[in-house]
Amino acid sequence: METLYADEFYFLGLIVLAPLLGAIINGLFGAKLPRKVVDWVACGSIALSFLFALISLQGLIHHARNFEGDGNFGPYLSYTAYEWIFSGELNADIAFLFDPLTAVMVLVVTGVGLLIHIYSVGYMDEDPDKWRYFAYLNLFTFSMLMLVLGKNMLVTFIGWEGVGVCSYLLIGFWYSDAQKAQAGQKAFLVNRVGDFFFILGMFLIFYMTGTWDYVQLGEMAMSEDAQQLARLIPIALPAGLLIFLGCTGKSAQIPLYVWLPDAMAGPTPVSALIHAATMVTAGVFLLCRLNWMVTLSPTLMAIIAVVGALTALVAASIAIVQNDIKRVLAYSTVSQLGFMFMAVGMGAFVAAIFHLMTHAFFKALLFLGAGSVIHGMHHEQDIRKMGGLRKLMPWTHATFIAATAAIAGVPLFAGFFSKDLILWSAMSNAHVFNIEGVMSGIQESGQSLNDMVRELNVTEAPLEAVELVGMSAGLNWFIYLMALFTAGLTAFYMFRLYFMTFWGECRAEEETKKHIHESPNSMVVPLSVLGVLSVIGGWIGWPHVVAYQFGDRVQNVMLGLEKWLAQTFYVSDTYRIVGRFGYGSDIYLLEGLSIAAAILVAGIGIGLAYYMYIKRPELPGIVYERAQKLHKVLTNKYWVDEAYDVIFVRRTLDLGKASYWIDRYVISGFLVGGVSFLIQSLGRVLSNLQSGNVQRYSTYITVALVLIFIALLAAVMFGG
């Protein structure tokens, strides 16, 4: 390992190559290969990729240890596979970047991906097109790895488009069902809208800075040289906004979230891998990757945070009334992604990535558990027809409860820690961005205002920065309350789902009831692994108030993720700013309060769900009677789909019709047809002249000669 240079770390190339090879083998020859071989190629390629990722991680740790800190970007490994475009200013290679942020993402993608591949072996066993499924799934993993490993925005974009295509292919995997094929199309088209903005953002960045390389851009943004910074500051808001719009498409945020619930038409493991664990987190990842640009514009951060909070709340409220097991999970995914964006918007990048990671564990598990239930119930997805499954499917039940507890925020489960960190970030931000507090903090710490401004990465004139920061205090409180409420909703609807599926009497039809069975081992094993991860996955991000009670060595583990990611985010993350500005450990007492509030809210949500669906099962009916209007609004998902249908889809169709009409009658009919008609009729008239009769010809000549003669004569006589 020591012989490899940090910028020629070829294992990065191998991480990407393995799934691609798997996709090629299965895609080209899968139909003729024995099914066992298809399974082994698909899972083996991802396992290899995971192995290479671990090797790279070890390399990175080794490199980080000897890292002396030249420049601002922090330690990273890179590998240039191919010099792709080298033209004047534009210089984009197929190059990979492996820094602490990428390391987390790659491990999640390959690790969770591997488990889902193994699960798929059992889940898709009866499907005759299994080879096609695995080829797509491998191709997806390849694209996702390109996305997270790309060293410049162009490589990321290749992956970005690649995952979109694979998502489309997999949602419409059972393409003979028109509805499913349409869901795929919807996902693809909505994503394309986002991608368009992403491209514009990329171009804007290139126009101003002349590079797409993350390292160069990062150095530029974090530079202390005013000239360097001046190239990025003016575009931080517009380019950031464009890229954020791109992210709302891929990561299903308002206004482009509508595709994700429909994407559930795909096979359930696909929902788990693409629409819960990996692809939809691409937007969060990208903004974290560009964290130094995001923090350059407080306005942009505020927009991101508000959009994230709104999405979280809206999606959670819709999830309450959904009855399709996968749809509840889909809206829950949208909601959790909202949490992540909220964290990004508040500069809590560590919290965002932490939640991304734990979410990948427990949401993948929830989907796989749902898949196991659907598999066991013979493709029944309506939770009103389930119930009592906890005895029939013990393994599925055990893992499902772990994941539900994790997402609801039950203490010590994975989701508790990450969601708590987000809530706490919102709360502490409200304090940091309270300018009086900052000022007194500065006085205590003895730092100059200019220093602080640089730390906050607000690079405008100090006064302006203070103003901007000062404005955000109220907003942060607002976001915090929204997030807290959403956390309660999450606990409620997830336990509603859990109780309705696994408790009470079985409401399935007699015929189905007899056949309910636990799933095969290839499905149960990944479930169990993810179950364990859903429990312990959060133990690398304990609250500071707890971690600080222990010694240094234990602290290093308990705050492991934060310390690891701090190498990437050390300039941007507000968390460190909180620590720096004089609050010291006092601020962490507040953290205790935030945790207590979160536990309380989760407890209320769970308790309410228990009371409504177990204790007094007649209650939901009564509530429904009382709040029919609200129920109608929620079941119809705020009529967003309908509104989009009227505003965009219909108008696009109208535009299409109008274009068709114009093409048919104006362009083709009038212009093209007119010209041809003119020439044809002229030709018809003129062709009469060619009679073949020599005498007529001679007459023409004579008449023409006479006319010319007269004209000449007239010219001579009158022309002077």
Closest C-alpha to 142, from 165, 164, 159, 161:
159
Of 409, 315, 354, nearest in space to 600 by CA: 409
284 contact partners, CB below 8 Å, separation of at least 6: 247, 251, 337, 340, 341, 344, 352, 353, 356
Q: Which residue has the tokens 């200019």?
A: 450
- In angstroms, the CA 353 to CA 309 distance is 16
Which residue, chain included where needed, has tokens 């009371």? 611
693 binds other proteins (CB under 8 A): yes
Contact with other proteins (CB under 8 A) among 699, 708, 709, 710: 699
Q: Does the protein bind other proteins through residue 709 (CB under 8 A)?
A: no
By CB under 8 A, is residue 521 in contact with other proteins?
Answer: no
Subset of 323-362 contacting other proteins (CB under 8 A)? none
Looking at 702, 704, 711, 715, which residue binds other proteins (CB under 8 A)?
Answer: 702
Pairwise CA distance, residues 84 & 369, whole Å: 43
Residues 547, 417: Cα–Cα separation, whole Å: 12
Residue among 244, 285, 290 at smallest CA distance from 147: 285
Which range in 113-121, 512-520, 623-631, 696-704 contacts other proteins by CB under 8 A? 696-704
Alpha-helical regions (H) of 251-324: 259-262, 268-272, 282-289, 291-294, 298-319
Side chain identity at residue 417, one-letter code = F
Per-position x/- string for 407-446, each x denoting binding to other proteins as judged by CB under 8 A, each - no binding: ----------------------------------------
Interface with other proteins by CB under 8 A: which range of 58-66, 158-166, 399-407, 685-693? 685-693
Q: Which is nearer to other proteins, 178 or 694 (CB)?
A: 694
Instruction: Name the one range near other proteins by CB under 8 A: 171-179, 201-209, 615-623, 689-697.
Output: 689-697
Counting residues that bind other proteins (by CB under 8 A) gives: 9
**Which of helix, strand or coil describes residue 152?**
strand
Q: Which of residues 305-324 bind other proteins (CB under 8 A)?
A: none
**Token pair recorded at residue 10:** 């070829």
Six token digits for residue 713: 């004569």
Q: Which lies closer to other proteins via its Cβ, residue 676 or residue 699?
A: 699
| By the rule CB under 8 A, 688 interacts with other proteins | no
Question: Contact region for other proteins (CB under 8 A) — 175-183, 405-413, 455-463, 687-695?
Answer: 687-695
Tokens of 442: 């500065």
Q: Which of 61, 648, 691, 712 binds other proteins (CB under 8 A)?
A: 691
> Which of positions 453-482 make contact with other proteins (CB under 8 A)?
none
Say whether residue 66 binds other proteins (CB under 8 A): no
- Measured between alpha carbons, how far is 465 from 461 in angstroms, rounded to an integer? 6
CA distances (Å), 452 to each of 10, 113, 456, 466, 659, in order? 40, 42, 6, 10, 57
C-alpha 322/C-alpha 517 separation (Å) is 25
Choices 109-117, 207-215, 448-456, 684-692 (CB under 8 A): range interacting with other proteins: 684-692
Q: How far is the CB of 683 from other proteins (least distance, A)?
A: 15
Q: Is 505 exposed, middle or buried (0-12, 13-18, 19+ CB in 10 A)?
A: exposed
The closest of 132, 109, 95 to 46, measured between CA atoms, is: 109
CB of 707 to other proteins, least distance (A): 15
Candidates 182-190, 211-219, 617-625, 692-700 — which segment interacts with other proteins by CB under 8 A?
692-700
Does 690 help bind other proteins (rule: CB under 8 A)?
A: yes
Among 69, 128, 446, 692, binds other proteins (CB under 8 A): 692
698 binds other proteins (CB under 8 A): yes
**Pick from 695, 717, 718, 720: which binds other proteins (CB under 8 A)?**
695
Nearest distance in Å: CB 714, other proteins: 20
Of the two residues 227 and 690, which places its CB atom closer to other proteins in the complex? 690
Angle, helices 414-432/521-536, rounded to nearest 10 degrees: 30
Per DSSP, the chain holds a count of helices (H) and strands (E) of 35, 2
> What's the min distance (Å) between Cβ of 698 and other proteins?
5
* Residue placing its CB nearer to other proteins in the complex, 87 or 690: 690
Residue listed under structure tokens 């609200």? 630
For residue 669, the minimal CB distance to other proteins (Å) is: 34
State which residue, 226 or 689, has the beta carbon closest to other proteins. 689
CA 704 to chain centre: 79
Q: Which of 694, 717, 718, 719 binds other proteins (CB under 8 A)?
A: 694
Residues 376 to 405: which contact other proteins by CB under 8 A?
Answer: none
The residue among 56, 274, 16 whose CA lies nearest residue 158 is: 16
Interacting residue ranges for other proteins, rule: CB under 8 A = 690-695, 698-699, 702
